[in-house]
Amino acid sequence: FYPSVGFCSETISLYFAFDLTQGQQKLDPDEFIELESYTLDEALEMISLGQIKDGKTIAALFAYKSKHI
């Protein structure tokens, strides 16, 4: 999708992965990432509550919902 239509020609692709297995993180020394897990319904509610504000994340969640439910 185009995140900034009329401003630039950047495109972003969304990919969905299934049947994943847990692996080992290979972070940079100054990189810290905490993983959190939510159901689709919980994530959609977080959008409604304004807890998820990132457009890419919102687009991905609604794209997933439209194709997989």
Per-residue pLDDT at 69 exceeds 80: no
Per-residue pLDDT at 63 exceeds 80: yes
Task: Render pLDDT for 15-49 as a digit per residue (tens, 0 to 9).
Answer: 999 999 989 989 999 999 998 999 999 999 999 99
Question: What pLDDT band is residue 7 in, cutting at 50, 70 and 90?
Answer: confident
Listing DSSP states for 35-69 in one string gives: -----HHHHHHHHHTTS---HHHHHHHHHHHHHH-
> Considering only CA atoms, which of 55, 56, 57 is closest in space to residue 36?
57
Q: What is the pTM of this model?
A: 0.76
Structural domain boundaries in the chain = 35-69
* pLDDT reported for residue 5: 84
Q: How large is the greatest C-alpha to C-alpha distance in the chain, in angstroms?
A: 40
Would you say 4 and 10 are in contact if contact means Cβ atoms under 8 Å apart?
yes
